[in-house]
Amino acid sequence: MKGKRIIALLLALSMAFAMVACGNSANNAGGNAGNGGNSGEGENVSGGTVKIGLVTAVTGSNSLVGEEAQEGAQLAVEEINAAGGVNGQQLEIVVTDEVDNLEMSVLATQELLADDEIMGIIGSMYSTYNIAAMPSVAEYGMPYLAMGSSSGVANEKNPYTWQDRPLDTAQGAVLADYVVNTLGCSKPAIMHSTQSTFQSLADQTIAALQEQGLEIPSSSIFAFPEDESNYSPYISQVMDGDFDCLIALANQAPSAVICQQVQAAGLTSDMMPLVGSTSFCSNVCITNAGDAANGWYSISDWCPGGSNDVAAAFEEAYTTKYPERTISDLAAVCVYDAVYILAEAMKIAGTNTDREAINNAMEQVEFQGAISYFKYNEDHSFATALTVTQNIDGVPTAIEAVSYR
Amino acid sequence: MSPSLFLSLLVNGVAMGMVYALLGMGLILLVRAVGILNFAQGDLMMFGAYICACLLLDFELPLYLLIPIAFIWFALLGVIFMFTIYWPLRKATYSQATIIATMGASIILQEVAKIIWGSQPRSMPHLVLNSEGDPAVLQIGSASLQWQYLIIIAVGALIIFLITQLFEKLYVGKMMQAACQDSYAANLLGVPSILTICATYIIVAIVCGICGYLVAPVFMVRSTLGTLQLRAFAGVVIGGFGSIKGAVIGCLLVGIVESFSTMAFSGYKDVTVFLLLIIFLVFRPTGLFKGKIGDKA
């Protein structure tokens, strides 16, 4: 009987451990690396450091994205600290775990908002989570960089929310222009995830294609739930229809599965152009899809190695610091740039303690980032360009950078 | 709809239905054996896929070595699962405790898989490749049918046949079920119920593992692979809870409906499946076939 109780206790403890792991509270992402302590200049916030919060998936099904986000943040913090920090203070990143659901993401954001020492937050990679967290962000008056790319975030017109990625409105327009005017397609099939980011991107793409004069009947749109694994029925319909192009909009892991299932179904880029969202040139997609990813075009906010000097320097620094990553991915570079944007705003504001002043200074931020040149726009977005890429021999290759404003 | 599209969707639907049927059959076996609905069924499949990927990609084992070694691991997984999730709670005051434990086990299995193999999805080669090393397709007219789906259908049907024979026809299978359902009487007759329950868990884990191996080349090895179990639940309820035959037919129905619903309601594919489930729950709650689950003595 005693043995059984011990086993039951162990089981209960293991379950409790799992639950605690899922609801992991704040933990430091090693933002102290290279921390030389307070230089004595500027206000002393917390032992000589100024804290930036990062909401990302530490556990759960999106933890790969979370790992990359933390790596990007860590790299930026180390670079900034090595260069003397911000207003004389060292940067530190505080990470909270959004697991893989909206509720936890909001709680994780609120946990950071309640911390008086945090002067800016880098939000989730998922627009829905960003939108859900935004009312709390406004309440606390915290500068908040949403990592989602949905125009729905900008449409909320939250004065404290900013975006460093190109918005889906721009992605949709550039994608439609490239598909119609460069690839010469007139009857594209559109496969997309119904996750808010991709639903929004699909809506923008369809609207832009229609502006280009194309008819997009509902029979050419194939929406699938985010947790879909079986894309073959959609691909069969694309092959059976008289489409001349496949546009696929999905997250990273699904994009790899789509590439594989497209290849397995016998659909190749020789038969029709295959065009994807930014995920299709991601490390996750190319590594896992193998040669099935070859030939796919992407209208991407990030092409590893990029199309400017900062992007190339980031790529080299990132792959050197994290040798297990052969190429960088979107989450890493977005968060990397976001840390720089917040640091730049603090420098412009000349303070590490006044959230309102830092938020006001965001409008004056302007510099060359890794994703693109960053410049304030009325919709609170900073990016100014997208990159058209094609996967060639397992390498995402930049074809052209398209400035859209 | 062209005949080739019809054939493609049908094969896809039957293959997916077969995957759900394998998962659903495992559910029924456990319900019959211990009266527990296992919410970690899909995660056992996911873990099986990871084990196969590890043996195939990391240890580069040939198929003739991979199969027996994988089976040993699947069996071990089943035994560990039983002794950590079911056994300590089998006499809990509230029978729901074990069901909740299986939900916890689902989370634990996903996180353990990530700790062992990382969060990166893994790609497995298809079982049949063409001369260029790409997944092979069977061309029937203008329809291109993936060999992997055909293999899923064939292997799935074989496993279902074997399990059905074991539990419905053979004396050993009937004895296992009887002993599981009335362990007191079984123990009086000298049949240790722990062994029969353990054997059932091993069989279920092996079936899930095989299922994982079959779907991995198509869906990649991911910690979220277990979400497929939701459709298996729907299929089991539609077929009739407790009947293996019902579970198989219900799951096949779910797979086929799911596949063809992409034509008209692509964004609402899941809605279509679960609408079908609701219709059955309202108009035929016992499902297509009545189950064989009796009250325990």
For residue A218, the domain's CATH number is 3.40.50.2300
- Structural domain boundaries enclosing A199: 168-300
How many CB pairs below 8 Å do chains A and B form together? 134
Comparing CA positions, the residue from A121, A122, A71, A125 lying closest to residue A100 is A125
Same-domain check for residues A231 and A327: no
Q: Which residue of A has its CA nearest to B126?
A: A264
Q: Which of residues 176-215 of A touch B (CB under 8 A)?
A: 194
B50 has a pLDDT exceeding 90: yes
Average model confidence (pLDDT) across chain A: 86
pLDDT at A12: 46
All residues at 6 or more sequence positions from A72 whose CB lies less than 8 Å from its CB, including other chains: A318, A328, A331, A332, A333, A334, A335, A336, A339
Environment class of residue A394 by beta-carbon count within 10 Å: exposed (0-12), middle (13-18) or buried (19+)? middle
Stretch A229-258: mean pLDDT: 91
CB contacts, 8 Å: B146 with chain A: 232, 264-265
H/E element, A107:
helix A102-113
What is the mean predicted confidence (pLDDT) over B63-73?
Answer: 94
Name the residue with tokens 């989602």: A148
Cβ contacts (< 8 Å) between A4 and chain B: which residues?
A: 88
Q: Model confidence at A5, in pLDDT bands (50, 70, 90)?
A: low
By Cβ distance, the residue of B16, B111, B144 closest to A266 is: B144
In the sheet that holds A395-403, the strands lie side by side as: A221-224, A188-193, A245-249, A274-276, A297-300, A385-392, A395-403
Euclidean distance between CA atoms B102 and B82, whole angstroms: 10
Q: Which residue of B has its CA nearest to A57?
A: B119
β-strand pairing of A144-146 with A161-163: parallel
What does the pLDDT read at residue B29? 87
What is the arithmetic mean of pLDDT over B25-31? 88
Query: Is pLDDT above 50 for A330?
Result: yes
pLDDT beyond 80 at B160:
yes
The alpha carbon of residue B31 is apart from the nearest alpha carbon of chain A, in Å, by 21
Q: Is residue A18 part of a domain?
A: no
Instruction: Give mean pLDDT, residues A255-279.
Output: 91
| Closest among B99, B27, B41, B34 to B248, alpha carbons compared | B27
Q: What confidence tens digit (pLDDT) does each residue in A182-232 have?
A: 999 999 999 999 887 888 889 999 999 999 999 999 889 999 988 888 899
Is A4 inside a domain boundary? no
pLDDT for B69: 96
CA–CA distance, B16 with B22 (Å, rounded to integer)? 10
Among B12-26, B112-126, B161-175, top mean pLDDT goes to B12-26
Per-residue confidence band for A306, with pLDDT thresholds at 50, 70 and 90: confident
Q: What distance in Å separates residue B167's CA from the closest CA in chain A?
A: 31
Q: Per-residue pLDDT for A42 more than 60?
A: no
Residue B240: pLDDT band by 50, 70, 90 thresholds? Answer: confident
Share of chain A above pLDDT 70, in %: 88
Contact between A261 and B218 using a beta-carbon 8 Å cutoff: yes
Q: Which residue has the higher pLDDT, B291 or B202?
A: B202
- Is residue A292 domain-shared with residue A326, that is, in the same domain? no
Which residues make beta-bridge pairs with A54? A95, A122
Q: What is the mean pLDDT of chain B?
A: 87
For residue A236, give how far its alpha carbon lies from the nearest alpha carbon of chain B (Å).
6
Residues A118 and A156 in one domain: yes
Mean pLDDT of B10-26: 94
Q: What is the predicted pLDDT for the residue at B291?
A: 57
Partner B, chain A 47-66, Cβ-Cβ below 8 Å? 59, 61, 63-64
pLDDT at B11 over 90: yes
Greatest alpha-carbon span in chain B? 63
- A9 falls in which pLDDT band (50, 70, 90)? very low
Distance between B14 CA and the closest CA of chain A, angstroms? 12
Q: With a cut of 60, say whether residue A1 has pLDDT above it.
A: no
Confidence grade of residue A37 (pLDDT, cut at 50, 70, 90): very low
pLDDT digits (tens, 9 = 90+) for A91-122: 999 999 998 788 999 999 999 999 999 999 99
Confidence band of A133 (pLDDT split at 50, 70, 90): very high
Helical H segments across A214-367, by residue range: 232-240, 252-264, 283-289, 309-321, 330-349, 355-361
Nearest CB to A253; choose among B222, B259, B267: B222
Locate B105 and state its tokens.
């086990």
pLDDT digits (tens, 9 = 90+) for A72-94: 999 999 999 999 999 999 999 99
A394 belongs to a structural domain: no
**Residue A173 falls inside a structural domain:** yes
Average pLDDT of B185-189?
77
Interface test with A, best of B128, B224, B260 (most A CBs within 10 A): B224
- CB of A268 within 8 Å of a chain B CB? The answer is no
Q: What is the pLDDT of residue A94?
A: 96
Q: Could B219 and A232 be called an inter-chain contact, meaning their C-beta atoms sit closer than 8 Å?
A: no
**Which residues of A are less than 8 Å from B87 in CB distance?**
7
Q: Calculate mean pLDDT across residues A30-46.
A: 37
Domain boundary among A256, A282, A300: A300
What mean pLDDT is predicted for residues A345-369? 95
Of the spans A7-11, B142-146, B181-185, which averages the highest pLDDT?
B142-146
Distance separating alpha carbons of residues A321 and A197, to the nearest angstrom: 30
**Within this chain, do residues A288 and A192 fall inside the same structural domain, yes or no?**
yes
Of B3, B39, B261, B28, nearest to B164 by C-alpha is B28
- Whether the CB-CB separation of B105 and B99 falls below 8 Å is answered with no
* CA distances, A368 to each of A308, A331, A335, A341, B25 (Å): 9, 18, 15, 10, 58
Q: Say how far apart CA B205 and CA B41 lie, in whole Å.
A: 8
Sign of CA dihedral A337, A339, A342, A346: negative
Structural domains of chain A, count: 2
Pick the last residue of a domain from A271, A300, A329.
A300
Say yes or no: A1 contacts chain B, CB-CB below 8 A.
Answer: no
One domain for residues A157 and A230: no
Q: Which of B101, B107, B269 sits opposite A225 (nearest CB)?
A: B269
How far apart (Å, rounded) are the C-alpha atoms in residues A74 and A335?
A: 9
Tell me, yes or no, if A324 comes closer than 8 A to chain B by beta carbon: no
- From the list B123, B219, B227, the residue facing A290 with the nearest CB is B123
Task: Give the DSSP H or E segment for A18.
Answer: helix A2-22
Inter-chain touch B219–A233, beta carbons under 8 Å: no
- Break chain B into its structural domains and give their ranges: 15-224
Nearest CA distance, B228 vs chain A (angstrom): 8
User: Quick check: is A15 in a domain?
Assistant: no
Q: State the pLDDT at residue A7.
A: 46
The alpha carbon of residue A219 and the mean position of all alpha carbons in its chain are separated, in whole angstroms, by: 30
pLDDT above 60: residue B260? yes
For A186, B246, B286, the CA distances from B283, given in Å and listed in that order, are 47, 16, 9
> Are B267 and A63 inside 8 Å of each other by CB?
no
Those residues with Cβ within 8 angstroms of residue B23's Cβ, 6 or more apart along the chain or in another chain? B41, B42, B45, B208, B211, B228, B229, B232, B251
Which pLDDT value is given to residue B290? 67
Q: What's the average model confidence in pLDDT over A277-282?
A: 89
Q: What is the 3-state secondary structure (H, E, C) of chain B?
A: CCHHHHHHHHHHHHHHHHHHHHHHHHHHHHHHHHCCCCCCHHHHHHHHHHHHHHHHHHCCCCHHHHHHHHHHHHHHHHHHHHHHHHHHHCCCCCCHHHHHHHHHHHHHHHHHHHHHHCCCCECCCCCCECCCCCECEEEECCEEEEHHHHHHHHHHHHHHHHHHHHHHHCHHHHHHHHHHHCHHHHHHCCCCHHHHHHHHHHHHHHHHHHHHHHHHHHHCECCCHHHHHHHHHHHHHHHCCCCHHHHHHHHHHHHHHHHHHHHHCHHHHHHHHHHHHHHHHHHCCCCCCCCCCCCCC
Tokens of B89: 């709670």
B215 neighbourhood in chain A, CB within 8 Å: 229
